[in-house]
Amino acid sequence: MALSNVATMVRGLLLVALVCAAHAAKDAPVAKDGAAAASCDGGTCDITKLGASGNGKTDSTKALETAWASACGGTGKQKILIPKGDYLTGPLNFKGPCKGDVTIQVDGNLLASTDLSQYKSNWIEILRVDNLVITGKGKLDGQGPAVWNKNSCAKKYDCKILPNSLVLDYVNNGEVSGITLLNSKFFHMNVFQCKDMVIKDVTVSAPGDSPNTDGIHMGDSTGVSIINTNIACGDDCISIGPGSTKINITGVTCGPGHGISIGSLGRYKDEKDVTDITVKDCTLKKSSNGLRIKAYEDAKSVLTASKIHYENIKMEDAGNPIIIDMKYCPNKICTASGASKVTVKDVSFKNVTGTSSTPEAVSLLCSDKIPCTGVTMDGVEVEYSGTNNKTMAVCKNAKGSATGCLKELACL
Q: What is the pLDDT of residue 279?
A: 98
Start-to-end Cα distance in the chain: 107
Give yes or no for residue 25 having a pLDDT over 90: no
Q: DSSP labels for 133-164? A: EEESS-EEE--GGGTGGG--TTT-TTPPPPPP
Collapsing DSSP states into helix, strand and coil, what is residue 364?
strand
Give yes or no for residue 64 having a pLDDT over 70: yes
Q: What is the pLDDT of residue 321?
A: 98
Q: What is the pLDDT of residue 337?
A: 62
CA dist 363 and 71 (Å) reads 50
How many residues in the chain? 412
Query: Which of 23, 217, 258, 309 is an active site residue?
Result: 258
Least-confidence region, from 188-192, 199-203, 335-339, 374-378: 335-339
Q: What is the largest CA-CA distance in the chain?
A: 112
Averaged pLDDT for residues 333-357? 86
Give yes or no for residue 192 having a pLDDT over 80: yes
pLDDT in tens, 308-337: 999 999 999 999 999 999 988 876 666 666
Q: For the chain, give the mean pLDDT.
A: 90
| Residue 258 annotated among the catalytic residues of the structure | yes
CA dist 210 and 14 (Å) reads 65
Q: What is the pLDDT of residue 23?
A: 38
Collapsing DSSP states into helix, strand and coil, what is residue 395?
strand
Q: What is the pTM of this model?
A: 0.90
pLDDT in tens, 216-228: 999 999 999 999 9
Q: What is the pLDDT of residue 336?
A: 60
Picking from 283, 300, 299, 301, the residue whose alpha carbon sits closest to that of residue 291 is 283
- Distances 104 to 45, 120, 225, 337 between C-alpha atoms, Å: 9, 23, 20, 49
> Regarding beta strands 253-254 and 274-285, do their DSSP bridges make them parallel or antiparallel, or are they unpaired?
parallel
Residues 165 and 123: beta-carbon distance below 8 Å = yes
Q: What is the pLDDT of residue 32?
A: 42
pLDDT in tens, 79-100: 999 999 999 999 999 999 999 9
- Distances 400 to 278, 313, 374, 378, 408 between C-alpha atoms, Å: 19, 20, 5, 11, 16
Give yes or no for residue 41 having a pLDDT over 50: yes
CATH annotation of 47-403: 2.160.20.10
CA dist 64 and 67 (Å) reads 5
Residues 392 and 361: beta-carbon distance below 8 Å = yes
- Distances 220 to 164, 169, 231, 240 between C-alpha atoms, Å: 17, 10, 22, 9
Read off the pLDDT band of 339 (50, 70, 90): low
Read off the pLDDT band of 402 (50, 70, 90): very high
DSSP state of 337: -
